[in-house]
Amino acid sequence: MNGRLHRFPLAWAAVAALTVACATEPGELSQVRTAYEQMAANGRVQEHAGVEIHDAELAVKEAERVWHDNGNYDEAVHLAYLATRRVELAWLAAERRELSDEMTEFPQQIVNRALGVREQTAASQQTARRLAMHLSSVEDLSALLEQLDATPEERGVLTLGDVLFGFDSAVLRPGADEAIALLAEFLLTHPARSLLVEGHTDDSGVLEYNFDLSRRRAEAVKAELVEAGVPPERVTTVGYGPVYPVATNAVATGRAQNRRVEVVVLGHGEQLEAR
Amino acid sequence: MVAILLACCGGGVACATPSPEPSIAIARQAIERAEDLDARRYAAQDLARANDALRKAERARSNRADWIEARRLAEKAAVDAEVAAARAGANRLHIAIEEIRKAADAVGPQ
């Protein structure tokens, strides 16, 4: 056998190549590491996409772990691909949030004209299959939380209308205590879940003011949850002002529906998705 | 090559292949979500890539020997769908901002 291989240097080279293939790190791994480092060093991404940077970091580490612990070449290459896409997701998230900020700088009248596209989008989002309900009582909330308890991957969206805030106010109503307590308890007993609290307004008044009001409303909900013992890093807030209406702003009943806080209970391990 | 791969698997312990079904279900959800976010219109290429991977995963699932490949394809489809959703969001905003700029130019300096 050895004698034969001696006479066929190419055969030896093939054996050597195969042995090396099992020991040398996949090129994809070092490529994704470089891509990750470049992304994570970018100030704009750091500012806007902290969660996504973290997700990408975990994905890179997982690929490295599988390679170093198991030496599973194909799986490491696969995981490196997933990590590459996570790096891309962080860039995209930063871009989206920067653009959202840019939107807030335009005068309201002009933003509204461009919203034809976005109103449609909000409507199609509503048809999305997800656990969603309009919260009119604390019983509704506990029913939804029970459903979420049974389906850890599912995300839930609670629409809190006039339950929590008075007109033009960012101060929580006393009646909100029970709803907040239920949410807090749910978060504390489901450590893999986190919340995205979105504030929305109707389109009356000054745009900048509405963005600010919606942000303050979302932050008021977060402050109460933190007070109740929820770690602040598990609640993200965002104020969308009037840009995601769920009903027409032309009539009063529609405007009342648009003034709302949406609490998105994210699925297990689900990452934040700013829309 | 097959022999080498089997050798790398080490005693067969690592070869107890889990079903790809959960990953396929997650990929389907992710694609639906990207579609809800208008990815068909604003991130067609990424969405097509996700759908392609999902279709391949669904073909591979019927043969137990291909379960690893099916699971990987489904995981690819899911992350590609996430990218499609994210890019759709960014592109939609780009277009809206462009429209606003055009409208503002039409109105003229105020």
**Structure confidence by residue, pLDDT tens digits, B45-98:** 999 999 999 999 999 999 999 999 999 999 999 999 999 999 998 898 888 788
Residues of A in contact with B72 (CB under 8 A): 75, 78
Residues of A in contact with B57 (CB under 8 A): none
Q: Please, are residues B68 and B17 in contact by the beta-carbon 8 Å criterion?
A: yes
Q: Do A114 and B107 touch (CB under 8 A)?
A: no
Residues of A in contact with B89 (CB under 8 A): 92, 96, 274-275
Among B8, B94, B96, the residue with its CB nearest the CB of A72 is B8
- Chain B residue nearest residue A120, CA to CA: B38
Kindly report the average pLDDT of chain A as a whole number. 76
Number of Cβ atoms within 10 Å of the Cβ of B28? 17
Per-residue pLDDT at A134 exceeds 60: no
Q: Mean pLDDT throughout A228-242?
A: 87
Among B82, B85, B100, the residue with its CB nearest the CB of A114 is B100
Task: Note the pLDDT of residue B47.
Answer: 97
Task: Note the pLDDT of residue A3.
Answer: 42
Task: Note the pLDDT of residue A89.
Answer: 95
**Candidate from A7-16, A239-248, A266-275 with smallest mean pLDDT:** A7-16
Task: Note the pLDDT of residue A40.
Answer: 96
Task: Note the pLDDT of residue B15.
Answer: 54
Q: pTM (2 decimals)?
A: 0.53
Q: Do B99 and A100 touch (CB under 8 A)?
A: no
ipTM of the complex: 0.83
Task: Provide the pairing of β-strand A156-160 with A260-265.
Answer: antiparallel
Residues of A in contact with B100 (CB under 8 A): 103, 106, 110-111, 113-114
Show the domain range for B68: 19-105
Q: Mean pLDDT throughout A258-270?
A: 77
Number of Cβ atoms within 10 Å of the Cβ of A167? 8
Element (H, E) at A238: strand A235-239
The answer, for B103 touching chain A at a CB cutoff of 8 Å, is yes
- Chain B residue nearest residue A93, CA to CA: B86
- Domain for residue B4, yes or no? no
Residues of B in contact with A18 (CB under 8 A): 1, 4
Task: Note the pLDDT of residue A110.
Answer: 57
- Domain for residue B13, yes or no? no
Q: Do B8 and A85 touch (CB under 8 A)?
A: no
Tally of structural domains, chain B: 1
- Domain for residue B14, yes or no? no
Give B83 to chain A, closest Cα distance, Å.
6
Per-residue pLDDT at A133 exceeds 60: no
Among A89, A111, A117, the residue with its CB nearest the CB of B86 is A89
A237 versus A254: the higher-pLDDT residue is A237
- Domain for residue B3, yes or no? no
Among A88, A96, A124, the residue with its CB nearest the CB of B83 is A88
CA distances from B72 to A198, A261, A268, B21 (A): 34, 38, 20, 11
Chain segment A75-119, per-residue pLDDT in tens: 999 999 999 999 999 999 999 888 877 776 666 555 555 544 334
A52 versus A132: the higher-pLDDT residue is A52
Q: Mean pLDDT throughout A239-261?
A: 78
Most confident range (mean pLDDT) of A122-136, A148-162, B28-42 is B28-42
- Domain map of chain A by residue range? 2-99, 107-265
Q: Which residues contact A242 (CB under 8 A, 6 or more apart)?
A: A108, A112, A200, A201, A202, A203, A207, A210, A249, A258
Kindly report the average pLDDT of chain B as a whole number. 82
Tell me the fold of A107-265: 60s Ribosomal Protein L30; Chain: A; (3.30.1330)
Per-residue pLDDT at A257 exceeds 90: no
